[in-house]
Structure 1
Amino acid sequence: MSIPRTVAAGSNFLWRAGALLTATAIGFGAFGAHGLKQRKDINPDRINAWNTAAHYAIFNGLGLLLISLHPRFSVHRFAGPAIMTGTVLFSGSIFALTLDHNLKFLGPVTPMGGVIMIAGYISLAL
């Protein structure tokens, strides 16, 4: 039995997005563990926030990889893009705020990204 073309196309997008998100998060996590600790201008609370952002990005990247393997969810038009977008907004804003705390306009982006991530996972349940 072959997989319908639309499933394969959706799976391919989610697989690549999940792999790129996970790889990027691992790199950012390594930078947080080694590079940020050497900077004296970044306090430990910000490093903890950085690590949280990296963990969320890794878990969501892995989630996208798993979603891509399931034919029913791989073509879901909302969940995958929502999880990916929410992760980029959530983790990306934390990464940026950690490096430059003057980017205060990004403060509201973090919870907005979190809500979008949660909406993506809830849509899978429904």
Structure 2
Amino acid sequence: MKQIVLIAATIYGALAVVLGALGAHALKKVLTAAQLQSFEVGVKYQMYHAIVLLVIGFFLTFETRLQHLMGWSFIAGTFLFSFSIYLLSLSPLMGVSLKFLGPVTPLGGLLMILGWCLLFVQVWRG
């Protein structure tokens, strides 16, 4: 599990840089200000959680159920939150309606919050 968390951290971090550059340069010309702002929120939260995954990947052993659940909460939550935002922001460019993804974003957010709560429990327990 430790390796999965660290691999997810590196992939999410690299993709956040790539997608951030894409948003700052190419997408700036074709998205509305609101769409670009949403896209950037996805990038920011992806990078924040890539860093969190990196930290917990280096400092935790992932020998407990709590730590496993925390890792998967951060991984799945980041994916659902950020990538649903990317797709929703880009859907007008793709010419498709992806409104069904609307509920996926808050679900990803809830999983990220769960990850933070589990991290709190981990720290509290020592």
**Structure 2 length-normalised TM:** 0.86
Alignment of 1:97 onto 2:88: yes
Structure 2 residue runs without a partner (length 5+)? 122-126
Runs of 4+ in 1 over 6 A off after TM superposition: none
CA deviation vs aligned residue, 1:14-61 (integer Å, no higher than 9, x gap): 11110111111111111111111121xx21011011011000000100
Give the fraction of aligned pairs with identical amino acids, expressed as a percent: 34
Aligned-partner Cα distance in 1 for 2:78–2:60: 23
Query: C-alpha root-mean-square deviation of aligned residues, in Å?
Result: 1.2
Number of matched pairs = 114
**Equivalent of 1:56 in 37, 40, 45:** 45
Aligned-partner Cα distance in 2 for 1:119–1:14: 16
CA deviation vs aligned residue, 1:66-90 (integer Å, no higher than 9, x gap): 0011135x44110111101001000
Aligned-partner Cα distance in 2 for 1:71–1:53: 26
Aligned-partner Cα distance in 2 for 1:71–1:21: 19
Aligned-partner Cα distance in 1 for 2:107–2:25: 29
Name the residue aligned to 1:3. Answer: none
Secondary structure of the structure 2 residue equivalent to 1:16: helix
Structure 1 residue runs without a partner (length 5+)? 1-9
Name the residue aligned to 2:124. Answer: none
Alignment of 1:84 onto 2:79: no
**Equivalent of 2:23 in 25, 29, 32:** 32
Aligned-partner Cα distance in 2 for 1:44–1:92: 19
